[in-house]
Structure 1
Amino acid sequence: MSDADLDFLRQLSERQQRPEPPGGAPRAGRGGRGRRRKKSRKGRKLAPLIALAFLLTVVCGGGYVGYTALNGMLNPPDYKGEGAGSVTVWIHEGDSVSAMAQRLKDAGVVKSVDAFVKFATKDTRATSIQPGYYHLRREMSVKSALTLLLSDASRVGRLTIPEGKRVAQILPTLAKKTGIPLKNFEKAAKHPGNLGLPSYAKGKLEGYLYPFTYDPDPKATATQVLRSMVDQFKRVATSIDLEDKARALGMSPADVVTIASLVQAESGRPEDMPKIAKVIDNRIHSPQPWMHKLQLDSTVMYALGKYNIVATIAETKTISPYNTYNVSGLPPGAIDNPGEVALKAALSPASGNWLYFVTTDPTRKITKFAYSYADFQKLKQELARNTGHG
């Protein structure tokens, strides 16, 4: 009760109990006639009781409101059961538990933010909820909602593109994961101008669909999905300063992407990538013109649309600008989509004079390096033995 309320009650009580003027003199009334209306003793006795009743009403009412508020904090409202219907909720990158709770409440999934926060803070797994889109139901208990958020089965369209995949491999994967028809992706890929490619890509999509884990919007188009992958490439390129470092090396950014794709295709382990990049660099800048032919089987396989590790002698004679057995220097573009490690290796090759390398044990991903042609032949024989062709 406020001070004003107490003052009002006090004045009311005083007026009811105020003593009569001395000598029984009447109070001045209307028209100057001294009259007064006698108040009964009953009325005087009721006034304090009314004031007390009013006070109790206010106090009890405030107590009820306080109890209700406290109960709401201790036992926030929650739905029961697993809910019904379907709703898609987007959990953003960096969302706190309370931010997630608000998104769930706004979507009609949970009844209150406090109920979800209270339950989720007791489960350490709640902090591991990944950003992305989730299929949930309306009016779920917070326990049921959290269970679905922690289940990969409820994720919508999440997909991971590994390093070294070609565009021809990526498009079917995207179609399968997103439910968008493959023909839509193929059509979008034929219009690279809509995909936000960097100018140095010169309209080539190969090399710029960055390998990453994506959570595309369920309503996204094929063009939007491909554009998001190109955007991710550009973010990584900016973070590693690809353009400036390429120019410092006397190369175009596109050359770096091409070399990175060769490194990605030829390497078995990340630690081998800088050494493979150095072999490519040494051969391209060798004073011996015949060394400028990189003779990489991966480029032959790309030209043929195959995925074998070792090219046959007949295959190495394939006529194609991508066949580095016949063409000197780099192929005209990337042969796959490299990751950050391969891009960095292309920008910062290891130190060494190697001119050859062979993945001598493809199963164990062991690559060995050589300075001379004689040692290179020995490595090829080791490969033949390990693959059963020796």
Structure 2
Amino acid sequence: MPRDPRFADASMPRDPRTQPPRRQPAEQPTEVIPTVPEAHEPEHPDERPIDGLFEDEYDEYGEYEDYDDEYDGYDEDGYPVDGAGPPVDEPPAKKTRKKRKRAIGWIAAVLVLVLLSGGAWFGYQKIFGYADYDGSGEGDALVQVEQGDTTSAIGAKLTDAGVVASTRAFVKAGAENTALSKIQQGYYLLRQHMSGESAVDLITSPTARVGRLEIRPYTQFDDITQPDGKVTPGVFSLMSKASCATVNGKSTCISVDQLRKTVADADLKALGAPDWALADAGKALSKDKRLEGLIAPGVYDVKPGWSATELITDLVKQSADAIQAAGLTAQNTGPGMSPYQTLIIASLIEREAITPDFGKISRVIYNRLSQRIRLQLDSTVNYVLDRPTLLTKPEDRAKSGPYNTYANYGLPPTPIAVPSADAIKAAVSPTPGDWAYFVKCEKDGHSCFAVTNDQHNENKHLAEQRGVY
């Protein structure tokens, strides 16, 4: 009876061409294994589909598992585990695919390392690093530091202006520089593309700040020539000097003549002068002096490159706010005076006395005005002559003119100087008293006050003895 080809036992001969050699344990019974229905096997292992999310891709190690199944029972060199038989050669195509797989694996590993390293460097730069330029830079950059700006805020402005590459470069360079924490508001002329260290060194140097305008009490618009010939600059000269800078090789200076013409031709209201000053300011000796007294003392920031109109407008508007802050408004004035008259009195006080005597000087002025006594102030005579206030000559006092308070009753037509906040307060609220006379009787500037003319003459004699008068 013919044997079923699906079954075989150990007594049947095997064809070595069709069966892989298999190690048989000694004296073990033959196990009958049913055959499995023949299934279609892809011609090449690479064509086998992989179950999972991406069926078109292969598991990195799936191909090697197929090879392990096919050569089960053989060592890594292709010999049977019992050492019998020749080594089994692996097909060349399979060896090539293995090498290609290994090469791709190495390339992928290197790419992963590169990406990880790049990510780590980027993260380090993001957290700890910063951009910075080299050197002292080139070209000019104008930056404004405002009140309350922190070092970081200044650094951000410098970055926006192209001075430094990053805020952190500036902040780190200035961490140990105490001068940087004391930097004042104003305009600073720096250079573009500076290192953080160079920017810190320059901005804290005395030469970096430009456009600084300081106007002190007592100053008038025109220059004053002192007895020794020294010239004290007036408001016009101070404004002109503050406007000067050289930006990218170009001068920004505004001449005194330009400033004078601007004041003379301008609409005072458009410049920002208080409404209560508009009518009376026109009584000045000349149109270029219409702003006398309307400029408050203080430190101002003039931007290099401003026009004369921009500079003056900024100055007048800030001064109007300062005058109001000092207590002089349309509703708050000196006893029986208009706001502009109160401002005139404040300017007289400023030119005639030192601060401790302001209140008493104010009272003397009010008392003489109310008693219709000429003020007889040397300061008003010298205002026209651009001289100091201490003394006048007989021939000067004999000259006619609206500012000669020896010849005229009442106040001069306009203020004669920049009044301080203290002088304004004294003009608004004079110290109570009956004094009608005063004279400087101390070398430190203090005055002696008198109610009668006889007392006043005694004070004058005292001043002469002390070498003051």
Structure 1 residues 12-51: aligned runs within 5 Å: 13=59, 16=62
1:370 equivalent to 2:450? Answer yes
CA contact (8 A) 2:276 2:330 kept: no
2:464 is aligned to 384
Count of aligned pairs between the two proteins = 358
Aligned to 1:185: 259
Aligned residues: CA RMSD = 3.1
2:314 paired with 1:228? yes
Q: Does 1:278 align with 2:369?
A: no
Question: 2:255, 2:196 → 1: CA distance?
Answer: 36
The structure with the greater share of residues assigned to helix is: 1
In 2, the alpha carbon distance for the partners of 1:117 and 1:165 equals 40
Letter in 2 for 1:142: G
- Inter-CA distance 185–248: structure 2 relative to 1 (3 Å threshold): closer
Q: Which range moves more in the overlay, 71-80 or 185-194?
A: 71-80
What's 2:200 paired with?
A: 146
Partner in structure 2 of residue 306 of structure 1 = 387
Q: What pairs with 1:231-270 in structure 2 (closer than 5 Å)?
A: 231-247=317-333, 249-268=335-354, 270=355
Q: Provide closer, same or farther for how the CA distance between residues 352 and 218 of structure 1 changes in structure 2, counting only shifts above 3 A.
A: same
- 1:248, distance to aligned residue in structure 2 (A): 7.6
Tell me by how many angstroms 1:97 deviates: 1.5
Shift of 1:86: 2.3
TM-superposed CA distance for 1:388, in Å, is 6.8
Deviations, residues 142-185 of structure 1 (Å, cap 9, x unaligned): 12111111122122221211111111121123223322112101
Q: Deviation digits for residues 329-385 of structure 1, max 9, x if unmatched?
A: 221110112121211221122233322222223x52222222332221122223333
> Which residue is 1:68 aligned to?
122
Q: Within 2, Cα distance between the matches of 1:14 and 1:136? A: 61
The CA deviation at 1:191 is 2.1
Instruction: Answer yes or no: is the 8 Å Cα contact 2:333–2:342 preserved in 1.
Output: no
2:239 is matched with which residue: 171, 174, 180? 174
Cα deviations by residue, 1:99-155 (Å, 9 ceiling, x for unpaired): 211221222211211111222233232221122222212221212111111122122
**CA–CA distance in structure 2, aligned partners of residues 349 and 49 of structure 1:** 99
Q: CA deviation at 1:47?
A: 8.3
Find the aligned partners of 1:243 and 1:68 in 2 and give their Cα distance: 61
Q: Deviations over 1:217-258 (max 9, x none)?
A: 111122222222211221113323421453584321101110
The answer for the alignment partner of 1:199 in structure 2 is 275
CA separation of 1:14 and 1:65: change in aligned 2, threshold 3 A: closer
Q: Which has the higher contact order (CA 8 A, sep 6+)?
A: 1
C-alpha contact 1:163 1:211 (8 A) present in aligned 2: yes
* 1:212 maps onto 2:298 in alignment: yes
Question: What is the aligned partner in structure 2 of residue 37 from structure 1?
Answer: none
Decide whether aligned partners of structure 1 residues 46 and 348 sit closer, same or farther in structure 2, where only a CA change above 3 A counts.
farther
Aligned residues of 2:297 and 2:418 also touching (Cα < 8 A): yes
1:341 matches 2:406: no
Alignment of 1:88-99 (within 5 A): 88-99=142-153
Tell me, in whole angstroms, the C-alpha distance in 1 between the residues paired with 2:107 and 2:59. 13
Residue of 437, 443, 467 corresponding to 1:356: 437
Larger Rg: 1 or 2? 2
Offset of residue 88 of structure 1: 2.1
The more displaced of 259-268 and 46-55 is 46-55
Q: Is the 8 A contact 1:16 1:44 kept in 2?
A: no
Equivalent position amino acid for 1:155 in 2: R
AA at the equivalent of 2:465? R
Equivalent pair of 1:246/1:256 in contact (CA under 8 Å): no
Looking at structure 1, the residues matched to 468 and 330 of structure 2 have their Cα atoms a distance apart, in angstroms, of 46
CA distance in 1, matches of 2:104, 2:239: 77
Residues 332/49 of structure 1: CA separation in 2 closer, same or farther (3 Å cut): same
Correspondence for 2:186 among 132, 140, 143: 132
Within 2, Cα distance between the matches of 1:61 and 1:341?
A: 70
Equivalents in 2 of 1:354, 1:65: separation in Å? Answer: 84
Distance 1:51 1:253 in 2: 91
Residues 351 and 379 in structure 2, CA contact (< 8 A), matched pair in contact too = yes
Distance in 2, Cα, partners of 1:244 & 1:200: 7
Amino acid at match of 1:154: A
Secondary structure of the equivalent of 1:67? helix
Taking the aligned partners of 2:294 and 2:391, their CA distance within structure 1 comes to 26
What amino acid does structure 2 have at the position aligned with 1:339? S
